[in-house]
Structure 1
Amino acid sequence: MTVFVVGPDDAGFFKRERTTWEFEDALNAAEAGDRIEIQRNYNFPVQEKNYTIEKNLTIYSASSLTHLNGEIFIKNGAHVKLENFSIISCQDKSNCLQVREGSSLEATNLSLTNMADSGENYPIIYLDASSYAQFDNLRVSENKIGDGNHRIYVENSTLTVTNSELNCKLYSSNSEINFENTSIDCSFSNTISVYDQSKIAFSHVTVTGGNAEKDYPAFFIKNSTAVLTYCVIDQNDYSAALCEKEKSNVTCIGSIISSVSLTSSKLILKEDCRILESIVLRSSSILNADDILLDGKDNGKINLFATDHSTISASWIGFAFESSPNIKLEDNVQFNVNELCILKFDSENDTFVLNDKNEYPILQECSKDKIKRFSNPKKEETNQPAEPKNKPRLSGMQQLDEMIGLETVKQQVKEFIAVAVLNKKRQEKGLSSTSQTLHSLFLGNPGTGKTTVARIVGHILYEKGVIAEDKLIETSRADLVAGYVGQTAEKTRKVLESALGGILFVDEAYTLASGGQNDFGKEAIDEILKFMEDHRSNIMIIFAGYTDNMEKFLETNPGLRSRIPNKFDFEDYSVEEMVQIGLLSLRKQQYKVDPTDYADLLKNNLSKDNDKSNGRWVRNLNGEIIKKQAVRVTASENYSDADLVNITKSDLDAVKL
């Protein structure tokens, strides 16, 4: 093993040859298994540099913390030991540490800081491809870029962290994460995000943050497992500080959690776990516990709520307070709890009281008669085929594929989504990516599904993690333009802010530029343009309208066309497609009609009265048919259940032109 000493140039009058190294030179000269020691008085270059390590090395600083400006990339299966370093980056879109390609890192006393205050965050630590990183005494500083992406990113790898303080979020996909004696805090989004069969083991870990306003749980876990031993998950005034979804399985031992929400998942509570606010179970979830300490504060929330064939099993549940009710269960929920009680609680110190025998004194036993049971209203029985139970929700892409017609739009959407997802993946891995603006034009006649496709695009972008929220805000000129100078900008800004994180759909956008030079619509356009520039990565704006009118709209302001690069062309439906749309709509409303008779009617009326409103025209036709059917049926006092759903040829003939 060779030791390379990195320090200031020590050559002089009595020592003509330098015996110390510059750090980068030492990295290049060292062989696998060598050691690099940094002297106390050595200063790294002020200019940021990226240092790539592809061999097994130990790098040690004699100072308590040596500052390195730049990034360290560990690649190609290298094993690196790192001690006593502060790694600082001042640029956005940069990682302080990358561990990739089956490499490993053992780091002690490490501080990581990204000082950029604008732009876009890349992971401050990035692990992938069966890599491994172990940190003891790691400190990750806060970041000023509020995009919610200041994070440690772990994919198909293993991360171990002990005795550390992390002011960032953690993202895990198909990875193993082990934390001990560590705090992690992020208030921009989820503090912990766990996906794809990850395995989490936390011991004496405090998780703080999440964002209740944007519905981000502090600890979100999906299709994964976790064991939380003597941990704290802190997110007040929320119903899902620990949020489990899709067959997740979490075991909590002696832990304190603000609130819990389970969907198709399982939670096991051991050794007097305490839930501060509420527990919610949905979709056949399971809660098993030796006992449950549930504060049960009278805060307007149901403290224990369960539905959809879920199961709750415990020897007892102890509440701090009695509310009305503490427990609300759907009739199909299994509730296997032996005892309910109000325990002695010290409000001043916010804790349950233990007696000399280390037991919880019972102030009052609660009758199970106080549990509120409820039933979901049943659907009206008809002779239509029953909907399958537990029908899975279609993904956004499946919903798009099931839409009738729109083949051009479907292909354009798939290409648009592919680029957006690929850019996101490249950014997460710290790779350069093409700049993509999500803002789009939806061009076509009314009734061609523009709003429906916009909503589906939002679902897909949210499912793929490209946008933060699955929401679409629909707006038009009336919502944006006011009657006096200065009011329009404020009114428009409020609408734009309401759509942050999701999609704003501006219907008939061309009307904003249709009022002449003194119209306040131009003020709305100017405000939208400024907002698009300031929040380019946190909102998608869709401008919809007739093709010709939208072309004139783009010409009203030179900044519009360049800021809305994506164009989707919604073609009119063919006659056959309109027949399919009409029949599908009636079937969804549980009506029966002869398909041939319906097609003949639609083709006849369309040939005589086609206003080019596509799906809207079909809906109006169906509305007229249903009216005629209703008049016919109610004219008889003795109509059957079949009459409620059957549309006859006479009903169709009654609306024939």
Structure 2
Amino acid sequence: MTFFVVGPDDRGFFKKQRTTWEFEDALNQASDGDNILIKRDYQFPLEDQNYVINKSLNISGEDNTFILGGFIIKNGAQVKLNNLTLRHYQDKNNCLQVTNNSQLIATHVSVVNDATTGQNYPIIYVDDGATAQFDDLYVEKDKLGDGAHRIYVEKGNVEIKNSTLNCKITATEANLTLQNTTLSYGESNVLSLYSNTVATLQNVTVTGGVKEKDYPCIFSSESILNITSSIIKEPNYSGALYLQKAAQAKVENSIIDSLYLYNQSKIDVGNTSRIVESIIIEDHSALTGETLLLDGRDNGKINIFSKGESNIKLDWIGLAFESSPNIKIEDNVTFNVPEVYVLKFDSTNDEYDLDENNQYTIVKDNLQNDIEYFTTQKKESNPKQANKAEKDQKDLQKGPQKSGMQQLDEMIGLETVKQQVKEFIAVTVLNKKREEKGLNTSSQTLHSLFLGNPGTGKTTVARIVGHVLYEKGVIAEDKLIETSRADLVAGYVGQTAEKTRKVLESALGGILFVDEAYTLASGGQNDFGKEAIDEILKFMEDHRSNIMIIFAGYTNDMEKFLETNPGLRSRIPNKFDFEDYTVDEMVQIGLFALKKQQYHVNPSSYADLLKNNLSKDNDNSNGRWVRNLNDKIIKKQAVRVALSDSYSEEDLINITDADLDAVRL
């Protein structure tokens, strides 16, 4: 192991040979395991640059040595940094980049971006299996204020403790640990977690977000967050901690300004946590734990609001103030909280009073009686007119809307289906008109078969048919309920009929779309799918004028499905044949989808790619195949942009030929 000292040239009259090194020479000469010490009075070149480190080295400075530039650590190198300040004066630079399964251990390190014009790149960038550990890290505020001053982690591991960070952190498919740290940023989210990231905060204060732009302080999507003895501050906002897309969080002994749960998210608040302002729980989300302190403030706002079949389960809730109401929940929400109290609260010291036994003082109990329940959809004497009036009002707010027939005509391909749908609707509407005038009508049922391979637009056409029939007054509601075997068939005798009946009843007045209907008859003699079929047949007879049932699936399999019960074929007389898309139609579909997502791509290059890949890997999934191809292209584009750290609008929307070539088979 060699020790390199980086410092000014120390040669003189009595010292003919230099014993110090230039920094770049020391980097080049050093081998794995060597040490580099940078003297306090060493002057780095004035040119702002990045130094590549691909060897395992220990680099230290005397008294927080100043380095003009940054480090790129790669190729599995294991690097230790100590007592250093890395500073860039140019934009579009990382002070630290750790990649390619490398490992960084940094102690007493500061990073600074002093650029005054241009664009921020991540000041610290960790990806591709790399690990970075920081103790006493300082990230200085940026001067650009573009909302992009950040630490970025993707498929990497970062641990930060005893630090002060004046930036945001964005993590994707990563592991992130913060301990004894303050994190502050007022230009965007302070902490953003995506795609199966696991983050742990212990004794951390997070301050920031942008209330005016609806940027929560902490945003978590499809990730896991553990918070202990921490503070999350974003006053006068509804979601300082915002969880969505099945995100999960566990909180202990922490103070959070506000909490918003959405889209099947879950949080466990333990028994010592405190929410300062409000809690919103929506869309099948869940708040659980033992106890919860909720200040609420005396601000006239509802302290807890919940809807969308969500769940609240706690031993008790303690409130600082009583308002009317403190809690408002939809009647489909499960509210399992035996006790709701108003507790004695000291506004001067901003804390709850405790008695001589260190227990909270109850000012008022039994506040469950003051909870306000509401129903989202009110029952009307004439549901058809009420629903249509509501829809008409929404349409007026949106502006002119395309009719169902216009939407059908604009669909790519499906010429046979389009003609079949038009004939079906013409006969159905004519029968309705004759019935209204008291004339004899031909016997007709709406129940239908949609036959064809996946990805051929069956669900989309079903929605359009429902929309047209609603417009023409044939069905009472413009709704389509999608279901499948899993929603209809239970595991025990007698349960399937009840389960199926509930689904059928939910579609009354509209359309029930049974996807892959043939699976109901694919389980053998003792399968409960036959019980579901029998219940559907009975319901079709009892409610023939108040529901349209569409059975969808592969053509051959659906023919076998019809043969399983003699009553099926006669009760489902309408058949629609969804042909596969041609190659040119698939190109049109793909280009239209990218345009709708505001991407720009060379049409001829895209067509060439699609035709090439389709010829080598066609699973006959039609539109789904195209969507999967587009998803792969978008991912390649995203990785390219992220790696280059270029986030201009042009870079975000342009798909290059190189992106296309990256998914070519």
Q: TM-score range by the shorter chain?
A: 0.5 to 0.7
CA separation of 1:135 and 1:418: change in aligned 2, threshold 3 A? farther
The residue number in structure 2 matching 1:428 is 642
**Given the superposition, is the C-alpha separation of residues 137 and 432 from structure 1 closer, same or farther in structure 2, using an over 3 Å criterion?**
same
Report the Cα distance in structure 2 between the residues aligned to 1:368 and 1:415, rounded to whole angstroms.
49
- 1:421–1:114 CA distance, 2 compared to 1 (3 A): farther
CA–CA distance in 2 between the matches of 1:180 and 1:353? 29
Superposition map of 1:114-133 within 5 A: 114-133=113-132
CA 1:31–1:328 in 2, change beyond 3 Å: closer, same or farther? same
Partner Cα separation in structure 1 for residue 483 and residue 116 of structure 2: 47
The verdict on how the C-alpha distance between 1:35 and 1:313 changes in structure 2, with shifts beyond 3 A counting, is same
Deviation of residue 178 (structure 1)?
0.6
**Residues 1:149 and 2:148 are matched in the alignment:** yes
1:388 aligns with 2:602: no
Aligned to 1:357: 357
- Give per-residue Cα distances to partners, 1:465-518, cap 9 Å, x unaligned: x9xxxxxxxxxxxxxxxxxxxxxxxxxxxxxxxxxxxxxxxxxxxxxxxxxxxx
Task: State whether residues 121 and 645 of structure 2, in contact with CA within 8 Å, keep that contact through their aligned partners in structure 1.
Answer: no
Note the C-alpha offset of 1:48: 1.1
What's the CA shift string for 1:34-55, capped at 9, x where partnerless?
Answer: 1111122222222212100001
Partner of 1:64: 63
Q: CA deviation at 1:15?
A: 1.1
Contact 1:303 1:326 in 2 (8 A): yes
Which residue does the alignment assign to 1:249? 248
> Displacement, 1:289?
1.7
Q: Provide the residue aligned with 1:266 in structure 2.
A: 266
Report the 3-state secondary structure (helix = DSSP H, G, I; strand = E; otherwise coil) of the residue aligned with 1:270.
coil
C-alpha distance in 2, partners of 1:358/1:268?
A: 24
Query: Aligned partners of 1:183 and 1:389: how far apart in 2?
Result: 47
Matched with 1:14 is 14
Deviations 1:624-649 (A, max 9, x none): xxxxxxxxxxxxxxxxxxxxxxxxxx
Query: Mapping of 1:8-87 within 5 angstroms?
Result: 8-61=8-61, 63-87=62-86
Distance (Å, rounded) in 2 between the aligned partners of 1:403 and 1:416: 17
User: Which amino acid counterpart does residue 599 of structure 2 have in structure 1?
Assistant: F
Q: In the superposition, relative to structure 1, how do residues 403 and 339 fare at CA in structure 2: closer, same or farther (>3 Å)?
A: farther
**Cα separation, partners in 2 of 1:424 and 1:95, compared to 1, 3 Å:** farther
TM alignment of 1:172-251, pairs within 5 A? 172-251=171-250
Residues 363-390 of structure 1: per-residue CA shift (max 9 Å, x gap): 1113312100000115835455842279
Q: CA deviation at 1:13?
A: 1.1
Distance 1:404 1:28, change over 3 A: closer
Taking a change above 3 Å as real, the CA distance of residues 361 and 431 of structure 1, as seen in their structure-2 partners, is closer
Deviation (angstroms), 1:353: 1.4
Residues of 1 paired with 2:285 and 2:586: CA distance? 33
Equivalent position SS for 1:416: coil
Distance in 1 between residues matched to 2:230 and 2:110, nearest whole Å: 24
Does the 8 Å contact 2:126/2:154 carry over to 1? Answer: yes
CA contact (8 A) 1:126 1:429 kept: no
Deviation at 1:64, TM superposition (A): 1.9
Secondary structure in structure 2 of the residue aligned to 1:25: helix
**Partner in structure 2 of residue 600 of structure 1:** none
Which piece of structure 1 moves more, 264-273 or 81-90?
264-273
Amino acid at match of 1:11: R
Distance 2:377 2:216 in 1: 30
Cα gap change, 1:240 to 1:417, in 2 (>3 Å): farther
Cα distance per residue 1:320-375 (max 9 Å; x no partner): 00011100000000111011111010011111112221111111113312100000
8 A Cα contact 2:39 2:65, kept in partner: no
- Distance 1:408-1:223 versus aligned 2 partners, 3 A rule: closer
| Aligned residue identity for 1:416 | Y
1:64 partner SS? strand
Give the whole-Å Cα distance in 1 for the aligned partners of 2:347 and 2:483.
43
Once the two structures are TM-superposed, the CA of residue 96 in structure 1 deviates from its matched residue by 0.5
TM superposition score normalised by structure 2: 0.61
Aligned-pair CA distance for 1:417:
4.7
RMSD: 2.7
For the 8 Å contact 1:93–1:430, the answer to whether it is kept is no
Number of the residue aligned with 2:599: 416
Do the aligned residues in 2 keep the contact of 1:122 with 1:427 (CA within 8 Å)?
A: no
Asked whether the equivalents of residues 234 and 257 of structure 1 are also in contact (C-alpha less than 8 Å), the reply is yes
- What pairs up with 1:241-390 in 2 under 5 angstroms? 241-263=240-262, 264-377=264-377, 380=383, 382-383=475-476, 386-388=479-481
Deviation, structure 1 residue 407: 8.1
Q: Tell me the alpha carbon deviations over residues 278-321 of structure 1, each in whole angstroms, 9 at most, x when there is no partner.
A: 01101111111211100122323211011011110111101000
For the residue of structure 1 that corresponds to 2:25, the secondary structure is helix
Give the AA of the match of 2:5. V
Deviation digits for residues 434-488 of structure 1 (CA, Å, limit 9, x no counterpart):
x7648xxxxxxxxxxxxxxxxxxxxxx8xx9x9xxxxxxxxxxxxxxxxxxxxxx
Q: How far 1:403 moved relative to its partner? A: 13
Letter in 2 for 1:287: L
Task: Write the deviation string for residues 149-186 of structure 1: whole angstroms up to 9, x where unpaired.
Answer: 10000000000000000000000000000110001011
* Partner amino acid, structure 2, of 1:213: E
* Structure 1 residues 412 and 374: CA distance shift in structure 2, 3 A: closer
- Which residue number in structure 1 is paired with residue 422 of structure 2? none
Structure 1 Cα separation of the partners of residues 191 and 483 of structure 2: 29
The 1:404–1:280 alpha-carbon spacing in structure 2 relative to 1, beyond 3 Å, is: farther
What residue is the counterpart of 2:621 in the other structure? Answer: none
Q: Offset at 1:429?
A: 2.6
Change (3 A) 1:142 1:101: same
One-letter amino acid of the counterpart of residue 109, structure 2 = L
Residue 421 of structure 1: how far off its partner (Å): 8.0
Measured in 2, the distance between the counterparts of 1:77 and 1:111 equals 23
Q: What CA distance in whole angstroms lies between the structure 2 residues aligned with 1:139 and 1:9?
A: 31
1:406 CA drift (Å): 8.7
Partner letter of residue 429 of structure 1? L
- What is the rounded CA distance, in whole Å, between the counterparts of 2:189 and 2:78 in structure 1? 31
Q: State the Cα distance separating 1:12 from its structure 2 match.
A: 1.1
Q: Which position in structure 2 is the counterpart of 1:99?
A: 98
Q: How far 1:418 sits from its partner (Å)?
A: 6.3
1:209 Cα deviation from its structure 2 partner:
0.1
In structure 2, what is the Cα distance between the partners aligned to 1:311 and 1:432?
42
Q: Distance in 2 between matches of 1:301 and 1:388?
A: 36
Instruction: Give ranges in structure 1 of 5+ residues lacking alignment.
Output: 392-401, 439-460, 467-657
Aligned equivalent of 1:158: 157
Question: Separation in 1 of the partners of 2:110 and 2:227?
Answer: 26
CA distance in 2, matches of 1:408, 1:40: 59
Instruction: Indicate conservation of the 8 Å contact 1:228/1:253, yes or no.
Output: yes
Change (3 A) 1:404 1:24: closer
